[in-house]
Structure 1
């Protein structure tokens, strides 16, 4: 099980963004829903590793969030709210989000496993940090293009070029600069490492 604890950066000098975060993550499937946990922080419990990757990359794109992924147990029966839940995954997520605040120039995320899943958790963190670097560096112009691209579909770059009134070459160059193809190739690997860390506990 994966607990994501997400803390707002610079919350003392900026407006409350938790409602914005909950809207952003609403489509990501959970076992226990995304909720404000305390103050400027939100939590959710996710069973699917790919959903955890999706949530991380959404938060990185939005910017201004510290993201901790905790891998471990969530005690059953599950309550209605993550605020009422207990288990080692919550402890790991707390450690992870505190470490995410100290990543410096790197993507502000960390992954912690409660038991023996440490090596795979560290590898998952490394892959997510590399993905996060590309997400953080993308321009608004690049996002306009890659948001319209569809992985694995032939002719998608030509269709996007026609939609935006630009050349297919411009679309291709933007996708290359943004490492869009690499992101979609690597997302499953990040999810697989998270799943291995969960299975190894």
Structure 2
């Protein structure tokens, strides 16, 4: 399981944006996100691809620190994330705090919950930690692309996703142009300059690395329990 802890930037001098983000995330994952403390929200997500969706949706606005924790989760079905425990929650807390210190970088961090310290960490857990670091690097790259889009570019790519589930094929570009009342050439330029194709080519890589980190951590924990 993956635990995401997402904290609002500059909340003391800004409006409360938690309800808006919680509402937006309902379209991306069946996982329930809830306010945890202050201007922070938290959720437990089962699938890596949904983790990528949630993280990039939060990064899009530039208002959030995103922490992704990979580890064990003790949470009864239907219970609030606030009632959960396990290494995934500890890792998510560490991750969001690290995201806050990522000066000049995309404010996202991925932390893998591990057993032991230093050389005592099992090899499987070490592999998981490395995969977590690689997933963080890929997500930060994609996050930079997402954060640099203009509003005009977002209007185009949002419609492309609605038409083709993110693929943005030529035929859907024609439909988007008609819907927005612009030329197909304008849509093509927006797709090119927005990094839309590059984002969707890289998303599976980020999800694969998260899944790899998760599987190795689970394997390590299972071996440690023997």
TM-score range, shorter chain: over 0.9
Deviation, 1:76, is 5.0
Alignment of 1:199 onto 2:215: yes
In the alignment, what sits opposite 1:141?
152
Aligned to 1:47: 46
Structure with higher Rg: it is: 2
Following the alignment from structure 2 to structure 1, what is the Cα–Cα distance between the partners of residues 91 and 68?
7
1:171–1:152 distance in 2 versus 1, CA, 3 Å = closer
When normalised by structure 1's length, the TM-score is: 0.94
Counterpart for residue 70 of structure 1: 69
**Where does 1:178-189 land on structure 2 (aligned, <5 Å)?**
178-189=194-205
- Give the aligned partner of residue 21 of structure 2: 21
Residue 152 of structure 1 deviates from its aligned partner by: 5.5
How far residue 13 of structure 1 moved from its aligned partner, in angstroms, is: 1.1
Structure 2: how far apart are the matches of 1:167 and 1:76? 50
Partner of 1:69, secondary structure, is strand
Paired with 1:121 and 1:73, the residues of 2 have a C-alpha distance of 15
Q: Is the 8 A contact 2:67 2:92 kept in 1?
A: yes
Q: Extract unaligned runs of 5+ from structure 1.
A: none
Runs of 4+ displaced beyond 3 Å: 76-79
Instruction: Verify the 8 A CA contact 2:95 2:111 in the aligned structure 1.
Output: yes
- Partners of 1:155 and 1:72 lie apart in 2 by 42
Q: Structure 1: how far apart are the matches of 2:210 and 2:18?
A: 25
**8 Å contact 2:9–2:63 — kept in the other structure?**
yes
In the comparison of the two structures, how many residue pairs are matched?
Answer: 200
Q: CA deviation at 1:135?
A: 0.6
Task: Give 1:28 shift.
Answer: 3.0
Are 2:177 and 1:166 equivalent residues in the alignment? no
**How far has the Cα of 1:11 moved from its partner?**
0.9
Is the contact between residue 67 and residue 100 of structure 1 (CA under 8 Å) also seen in structure 2?
yes
Q: Output the CA distance in 1 between the equivalents of 2:129 and 2:73.
A: 18
Residue 36, structure 1, aligned to residue 52, structure 2: no
Any gaps of 5 or more consecutive residues in structure 2?
Answer: 115-124, 218-226
Report the secondary structure of 2:5's partner residue: strand
Equivalent residue number for residue 124 of structure 1: 135
Q: 1:10 is matched with which residue?
A: 10
Of Structure 1 and Structure 2, which has the larger fraction of its residues in helix? 2
| TM, length-normalised to structure 2 | 0.84
Residue 173 of structure 2 corresponds to which residue in structure 1? Answer: 157
- Structure 1 stretch displaced more, 86-95 or 103-112: 103-112
Query: Quick one: distance in 1 between partners of 2:10 and 2:75?
Result: 35
